[in-house]
Structure 1
Amino acid sequence: MDFEYSDKTKELMARLNRFMDEHIYPNEKTYDAQMAAFRAQGNPWQVPQILEDLKPKAKAEGLWNLFLPESELGGGLTNMEYAPLCEIMGRVGWASEVFNCSAPDTGNMEVLERYGSERHKKEYLVPLLAGEMRSAYLMTEPDVASSDATNVSTRIERDGNEYVINGRKWWSSGVGDPRCKIAVVMGKTDPKADTYRQQSQILVPLDAPGVKVVRMLPVFGYDDAPHGHAEVILENVRVPAENLLLGEGRGFEISQGRLGPGRIHHCMRTIGVAERALELMVKRLLTREAFGKKIAEHSVWEERVARARIDIEMARLLTLKAAYMMDTVGNKVARAEIAMIKVAAPNVALKIIDDAIQAHGGGGVTTDFGLAKMYSGMRTLRLADGPDEVHARTIAKLEFKKYSNKVRAAAE
C-alpha cells in the first residue's frame, strides 16, 4: 500500500484549501447569523443564502461532485483520492454541501447511478448532481431495533402498476430541507421470503399523498436545520411500480452498495472534525494562563494534545487503508476495515472534542465555539449507518472465522 497522495489529489487539495480559506472559514459567522435570523422569524427550515452564493464559486473552481468513483457523472476520483478532500470539507459542518458532496445525497446519488433506471437518472440524479434538489434515505424505524435491518417492517405491496407503502420511519435525515424532493425508502415486499430477500428499496416523492412528517427530531437540543431529522408516516402511499430499485428482494444488496461509501465518507469528514477540534483546543491552551503559566505548559494538557495527534494519525491511516481496499478489492472484502474505522473515527473525534470543551472551560459547552454542536454530531455518528455494536460484531465474527478451523483441528 502506498498512501502518498497522487499529483491530481494534491492539486485538488491545494485548490480546496484555498477555497476554504477564502470562502468557507470567513463565512462561518455569516451562516450562523442567517440561521439565527430564520429562527428569530420562527422558521429555521430555510436555506441560508450564503450556501447558494458559494455553490457557483465552487463549480467555477472545478470543486463540484468530487465523489462517485468510476462514473463519468462524478469527479472520477477513487475513494483513496477523495478521502483527503472529504476530510478538508469536514472541518466545517455545512461545507460539504457547497461542493455538492454532503450526505445523504452522495449515497443516494450512488444508488441512482448504480441501480436506477434511465428515467430515475433523468428525473432525480441529474438535478441532484446539479445541486437543484436534495434527497433523504428512510430506513430506521421507531418500533423495532433497526440496528438489525431485517426487523424493518414498513410494507411495500404490489397493486397493479403501483406499489402501496405503509410504515413509520424516523431519523430520516434531510427531510426538513425545503429542497428535499425524493426519498429512498426501505421496506418489506415479501415477509415470507428468505431473511435477506424480504426487503426492497423504492423511490418515494415527498409530496406523494400519504407522506406525513410527524415531527423533526432534535439531537441534544439541536434541530440541525435546515437539514434536520424527521419522523415520517407513510400511509397508503402509492408510487409507480417502476420506482422500485433493481427488483423485489434486493434491498440488502442495494444497502451494501450504498452504505460502504456512505460510511467511509462519514469517517473521512470525521477526521476533519477531529483536526478542527484539536486546532481550537491548542489555540485556546496557548492563549490562556492559569496558576502563573500558559495552560499549554501544564503537563496534563501536553498528554492530551499528544494523544489527540496520535489518535488522529491512526484514524486517518485506517481510513486510507479502508478506502484503498474498497478501490482495489471491493467493499465486500473491505468490510472489516470499513467496520473498524466506522467504530474508531467517531470515538477518536469525541474524545478530542471532549478535551477541547474542557480546554474552553464553561465556554466549551455553550454555542460560542461550536464544540457542543460538533460533539452532538459525532455522538450521533456512533449510531448512524449502524451502531458501534453491530460493526464490532462484524469485526469479531471475521476474527473468529480466521481461527475457527485451527481450533477445531486442534480439538480433533
Structure 2
Amino acid sequence: MDFAYSDKVQALRATLEAFMDENVYPIEREKYHWDHDPAHQWTVWPGLAGLKAKAREAGLWNLFLPHEYGEWSPGLTNLEYAPLAELMGRVFGASEIFNCSAPDTGNMEVLARFGSPAQQERWLKPLLAGEIRSAYAMTEPDVASSDATNVATTIERDGDEYVINGRKWWISGMMDPRLAVLIVLGKTANADRPRHQQHTQILVPRDTPGIEVVRPLSVLGAYHSPGGHVEMRFDNVRVPVENVVLGEGRGFEIAQGRLGPGRIHHCMRVIGQAQRALEYMARRVDGRVAFGKRLADQGSIRQDVAKSFCEIEMARLLTLKAADAMDRHGNKVAKDLIAAIKIVAPLMGQTVADRAMQAFGGQGVSDDTPIAGIFATSRYLRLADGPDEVHMAQLGKLKIAELAALPQR
C-alpha cells in the first residue's frame, strides 16, 4: 500500500492550504461572530460569496464529487479528496466556500447519479455552481429513523401529482435564505413490493405551498445559522410526478448511494478538526506554567498528547482505507469500512477535543478557541447519519457472519 499522496493531490493540498492561510483563517472569527449574533440569525455572512468566487477561480471547487460522475466531476477519487476535506474541516463552515458542504454534497451526488436530465438541468447545475442551497428531509420525530423503513411521511399519487403529508425534524439548511429545493424521503405504500421498496425520494421546491417550519432546533445551545436545523411539516404538499427521483419505491436504493459518501466526508473533516485541537493543545502546554512547571513537563499531559496523536493517525489511516475501498470496489462493498470509520472518527474527535479543553482550563470551554466547537461538532456527529449503536449493530452482524463462515484454524 502506497501511503504517499500523488503529485496531483500534493499540488491541490498546497493550493488549498495557501488559500486557507490567505482567505479563511483571517476571517474565521468575523464569520463565527456573525453566524452566532442573534441580530444576523438566518442571514448569510456578507463576505461568503466573494470567497466562493475566489475558490472557484483557484480550481478548488466541487472537489468532493468522485471521478465516476464524469462531466459533473473535477476528476478526483474519494482517496484523493480525503486529505483536502481534512484541511477544509479545520475551520467550521469552510467547506461551503469550496462548494463541498453537506447536505448539498449528498444531494448533488443523488442528482448526478439518479436524476433525470430535466432534474439535473433545473437543480444540479445551480447546485454545482453554488447558486442555490438544498436540504434532505428524511428523519422524523415520531419514529426511530435510524431504521429508515420506519419513515412514515406519505407520498401518494394523485393523477399527475404526488401529495406529501408528514412531519420531519433535524432537517439541515431549511432556514438558509438561499434554499431552493428539498429531497424528501417518504412512504409510497404498495403491498405488492417488498419492505425496502416501499419508499420514494422526491424533489420539492422550497416555495411549494404546504411546507411549514414548526421551529428551529438548537444543537448543544447553538442554532447553526444561517442554515440551521428544523422541525417541519408537510401539509398536502403537491409536486408533479416528474419530480420523483429514479422511480417510485426506489428510495432506499438512492439512500444507500447517498449516505455512504456523506458519512465518510464527515469523518474526513473531523480528523482535520481533531488535528487542529491537538495543535492548539501542544502550543498551550508548551507555553503555560503552573506551580512553577510547564504543563508540557507533566507526565499526564505528555500522555494526553501522545494518545491523541496515535488516535488521530489511526482514524486518518482507517478513513483513507475506507476511501480507497470505495474507489476500488464501490460504496456497497466498502460499507463495513465506512461504518467502522463513522464509529471511530467522531468519538476520536470528541476525545481529543476534551483533552485539549482540559489543558486550556476555563478558556477551553469558551469560544476564544475553536476547541469547544470541535467537541460539540464531534459529539453531535455521533448521531448524525446514524447513531453509533446502529453502525456497531450492523457492522457486528456483518462481521459475525463473515468471520464465522471462515474455516476454523
Q: 2:359 and 2:199 mapped to 1: Cα distance?
A: 47
Match of 1:374 in 2: 374
Counting only pairs closer than 5 Å after superposition, residues 7-406 of structure 1 correspond to structure 2 as: 7-36=7-36, 38-39=37-38, 41=39, 43-69=40-66, 70=68, 71-190=70-189, 192=191, 193-405=193-405
Question: Contact 1:222–1:373 (CA<8 Å) still a contact in 2?
Answer: no
**Shift in Å, 1:179:** 0.5
Q: 1:158 and 1:116 mapped to 2: Cα distance?
A: 20
Q: 1:33 and 1:201 mapped to 2: Cα distance?
A: 36
Deviations 1:49-68 (A, max 9, x none): 12112111111111111121
**Shift in Å, 1:406:** 5.6
Give, as a single letter, the amino acid of the residue that structure 2 aligns with 1:386.
G
Question: Contact 1:3–1:320 (CA<8 Å) still a contact in 2?
Answer: no
Give, as a single letter, the amino acid of the residue that structure 1 aligns with 2:77.
T
SS of the residue aligned with 2:96? helix
**Shift in Å, 1:2:** 2.3
Give, as a single letter, the amino acid of the residue that structure 1 aligns with 2:224.
D
**Shift in Å, 1:99:** 0.4
**Shift in Å, 1:397:** 1.1
SS of the residue aligned with 1:49? coil
SS of the residue aligned with 2:395? helix
**Shift in Å, 1:384:** 0.8
Q: 2:163 and 2:128 mapped to 1: Cα distance?
A: 28
Q: 1:336 and 1:307 mapped to 2: Cα distance?
A: 25
Question: Contact 1:65–1:75 (CA<8 Å) still a contact in 2?
Answer: yes
Q: 2:200 and 2:33 mapped to 1: Cα distance?
A: 42
Deviations 1:166-225 (A, max 9, x none): 010000011111101111110100153311011110111111100001111001100111
Instruction: Assess, with a 3 A threshold, how the Cα gap between structure 1 residues 11 and 161 changes in structure 2: closer, same or farther.
Output: same
Deviations 1:31-66 (A, max 9, x none): 124335x52x2x410000121121111111111111
Question: Contact 1:134–1:181 (CA<8 Å) still a contact in 2?
Answer: yes
SS of the residue aligned with 1:392? helix
Q: 1:336 and 1:109 mapped to 2: Cα distance?
A: 24
Instruction: Assess, with a 3 A threshold, how the Cα gap between structure 1 residues 30 and 270 changes in structure 2: closer, same or farther.
Output: same
**Shift in Å, 1:285:** 1.1
SS of the residue aligned with 1:131? coil
SS of the residue aligned with 1:360? helix
Q: TM-score, normalised by structure 2?
A: 0.97
Give, as a single letter, the amino acid of the residue that structure 2 aligns with 1:85.
L
**Shift in Å, 1:331:** 0.8
Give, as a single letter, the amino acid of the residue that structure 2 aligns with 1:98.
I
Instruction: Assess, with a 3 A threshold, how the Cα gap between structure 1 residues 235 and 301 changes in structure 2: closer, same or farther.
Output: same
Which runs of 5 or more structure 2 residues have no equivalent in the other structure? none
Give the length in aligned residue pairs.
406
Instruction: Assess, with a 3 A threshold, how the Cα gap between structure 1 residues 282 and 191 changes in structure 2: closer, same or farther.
Output: farther
Give, as a single letter, the amino acid of the residue that structure 2 aligns with 1:223.
Y
Deviations 1:205-259 (A, max 9, x none): 1111000011110011001111211111001000001101111111110011101
Which runs of 5 or more structure 1 residues have no equivalent in the other structure? none
Deviations 1:273-305 (A, max 9, x none): 111111111111112110111111111010000
More divergent stretch after superposition (347-356 vs 50-59): 50-59
Give, as a single letter, the amino acid of the residue that structure 2 aligns with 1:271.
I
Instruction: Assess, with a 3 A threshold, how the Cα gap between structure 1 residues 246 and 281 changes in structure 2: closer, same or farther.
Output: same
Instruction: Assess, with a 3 A threshold, how the Cα gap between structure 1 residues 48 and 315 changes in structure 2: closer, same or farther.
Output: same
Q: 2:406 and 2:349 mapped to 1: Cα distance?
A: 38
SS of the residue aligned with 2:234? strand
Question: Contact 2:169–2:232 (CA<8 Å) still a contact in 1?
Answer: yes
Runs of 4+ more than 4 Å apart: none
SS of the residue aligned with 1:137? strand
Q: TM-score, normalised by structure 1?
A: 0.96
Give, as a single letter, the amino acid of the residue that structure 1 aligns with 2:112.
E
Q: 2:247 and 2:183 mapped to 1: Cα distance?
A: 14
Q: 1:402 and 1:35 mapped to 2: Cα distance?
A: 47
SS of the residue aligned with 2:221? coil
Q: 1:406 and 1:338 mapped to 2: Cα distance?
A: 22
Question: Contact 2:182–2:204 (CA<8 Å) still a contact in 1?
Answer: yes
Question: Contact 1:67–1:76 (CA<8 Å) still a contact in 2?
Answer: no
* Aligned-pair Cα RMSD in Å: 1.4
Q: 1:310 and 1:404 mapped to 2: Cα distance?
A: 31
More divergent stretch after superposition (46-55 vs 232-241): 46-55
Give, as a single letter, the amino acid of the residue that structure 2 aligns with 1:72.
E
Q: 1:333 and 1:2 mapped to 2: Cα distance?
A: 21
Q: 1:369 and 1:84 mapped to 2: Cα distance?
A: 23
